[in-house]
Homo-oligomer: A and B are copies of this chain.
Amino acid sequence: MAGNTIGQIFRVTTFGESHGIALGAIIDGCPPGLALTEADMQHDLDRRRPGTSKYTTQRREPDAVKILSGVFEGKTTGTSIGLMIENTDQRSKDYSKIKDVFRPGHADFTYHHKYGIRDYRGGGRSSARETAMRVAAGAVAKKYLAQVHGIQVRAYLAQMGDVTIDTVDWAQVEQNPFFCPDPNKLDELDALIRQLKKDGDSIGAKLTVVAENLPVGLGEPVFDRLDADIAHALMGINAVKGVEIGDGFDVVTQRGSEHRDEIHPDGFASNHAGGILGGISSGQPLVAHLALKPTSSITVPGKSIDIHGESADVVTRGRHDPCVGIRAVPIAEAMVAIVLMDHLLRHRGQMGANPSI
C-alpha cells in the first residue's frame, strides 16, 4: 500500500530508483510566500552527495535538483511543489551476477518476496539514492523553519565504530568530510576508514540531531507525539536500527530523581528529556540520536542463496561507502525538519483562534 508519503499537512511524497530515469518529490502544503530557488536545496544535496570526498563512494552524481512547479517569481505559491533530479549516471553495467542472488543484509530478499518483481539495478527503490529527494524536501522545511521561526536543525557524527566523539564544536562540523564536531578525532576516523577500505569491510555509526529554538507545544498526543513522529522519520532512513530521544537507553539505569529535569524560574536545569515532555516540545533543544548499521555492500565474500533457493557466494563490487552513516547527516537533518514543519502547521491549525484567549 501507498507508503511513499510522510507528513499530514506538510506532506512529502517521493519516487525514483537508483538507476531509473529520475528521482522526484512533491511537497504539498508548503505555506505561500517563501522565497525558494534550487540553490536553497542544492547545498544540502551536495552535502549528501557521494563522491565529494575520498571517504565516501566515488560515484559521481551531480544531483542537480529542478523546481517544476509551485514557485512563481521566486516565491512559493502554496500549491504543490514538484521537484526532480535526473539520474545522469546510469552507466550500462552487467547486473547478471546480482540479478538472481540475494545479497545478505540487503533488501533484495524482502523486495523480491513482497513484490514478486524488482528493479535490481543498484538496489532500485531500496537504494539510499532515494534519500536525495528527502534532503531536497527537507531543505525547504529547514528554510521555512529558520526564516519564519528562527528554528535551526543540525546534525553531526557522534560515533563511528569505536571512535566516540564527545566534544561538540558546531563550527567544526562542516569543516571536515566526516561531519565530525571534534577536530581531534579526525585522524582516528581517517585511519579507520583506510583500514576498512583495505579490508573491504564497513562500519556502523551513530549520529546526533539537534533542533534549537523550538516553540513549546509541537506534538499531537497520544499517538502523533513529536517523539513518536521523530522516531518514525529517523527509523525510516535506510540502515537505521535505533533511535533515541534525549538520554535514550541510558534511562534504563537512571533513577527518577536523577532523570527528571528540574525547572527554575529562568528555565530548565538540565535536558535529560531531549526537549520533549509527554510527546510535546518543551522549548528546550530537541536532541535525537540514531544508529546506522554497517552497509552490507562489502567485498568480503558472504554466503547467501539465489532466487531458486540454491547456495551462492556473494561479493558486492562497485563504488560503496565504508560508512554510510557519514552521508546520513544531512538526511537525518532533513527528516527532523520535515517532521517539525508538519507539526508546526498541525499545531497552528488547531490552535489558531483559541476562543478562550
Select which of B4, B6, B109, B355 is within 8 A of A33 by beta carbon.
B355
Across the interface, do A2 and B28 meet the contact criterion of CB distance under 8 Å? yes
For residues 280 through 298 of chain A, which have their beta carbon under 8 Å from a beta carbon of chain B? 280-283, 291-298
For residues 221 through 263 of chain A, which have their beta carbon under 8 Å from a beta carbon of chain B? 221-225, 227-236, 238, 240-263
How far is it, in angstroms, between the C-alpha of A219 and the C-alpha of B204 when the chains are bound? 23
* Minimum distance in angstroms from A135 CB to a CB of chain B: 13
How far is it, in angstroms, between the C-alpha of A298 and the C-alpha of B255 when the chains are bound? 10
Given A5-B28, A9-B2, A260-B105: A117 touches B77 (CB 8 Å cut-off): yes
* Minimum distance in angstroms from A235 CB to a CB of chain B: 4
How far is it, in angstroms, between the C-alpha of A201 and the C-alpha of B258 when the chains are bound? 9
Across the interface, do A13 and B5 meet the contact criterion of CB distance under 8 Å? yes
Q: Is A191's beta carbon under 8 Å from chain B?
A: no
Residue of B with least CB distance to A301: B257
Residue of A8, A116, A202 with most chain B CB atoms under a 10 A cut-off: A116
Q: Is A26's beta carbon under 8 Å from chain B?
A: yes
How far is it, in angstroms, between the C-alpha of A230 and the C-alpha of B269 when the chains are bound? 32
How far is it, in angstroms, between the C-alpha of A234 and the C-alpha of B230 when the chains are bound? 12
Across the interface, do A21 and B216 meet the contact criterion of CB distance under 8 Å? no
Across the interface, do B345 and A350 meet the contact criterion of CB distance under 8 Å? yes
Residue of B with least CB distance to A160: B252
Select which of B79, B219, B249 is within 8 A of A249 by beta carbon.
B249
Across the interface, do A125 and B305 meet the contact criterion of CB distance under 8 Å? no
Q: Which residues of B sit under 8 angstroms from A82, Cβ to Cβ?
A: 15-16, 22, 24
Residue of B with least CB distance to A121: B72
* Minimum distance in angstroms from A257 CB to a CB of chain B: 4
Q: Is A102's beta carbon under 8 Å from chain B?
A: yes
24 A-B pairs in the complex with CB atoms less than 8 angstroms apart: A1-B29, A2-B80, A2-B350, A3-B28, A3-B219, A4-B79, A15-B80, A78-B351, A79-B115, A105-B259, A105-B277, A106-B277, A107-B279, A110-B282, A114-B219, A125-B221, A161-B255, A229-B232, A241-B244, A241-B249, A242-B242, A262-B303, A263-B303, A269-B303
Across the interface, do B204 and A259 meet the contact criterion of CB distance under 8 Å? yes
How far is it, in angstroms, between the C-alpha of A230 and the C-alpha of B263 when the chains are bound? 32
Q: Which residues of B sit under 8 angstroms from A62, Cβ to Cβ?
A: none
Residue of B with least CB distance to A10: B2
Q: Which residues of B sit under 8 angstroms from A203, Cβ to Cβ?
A: 253-256
Select which of B4, B29, B147 is within 8 A of A2 by beta carbon.
B29
Across the interface, do B346 and A302 meet the contact criterion of CB distance under 8 Å? no
Identify the stretch in A43-51, A63-71, A170-178 within 8 Å (CB) of chain B at 4 or more residues.
A63-71
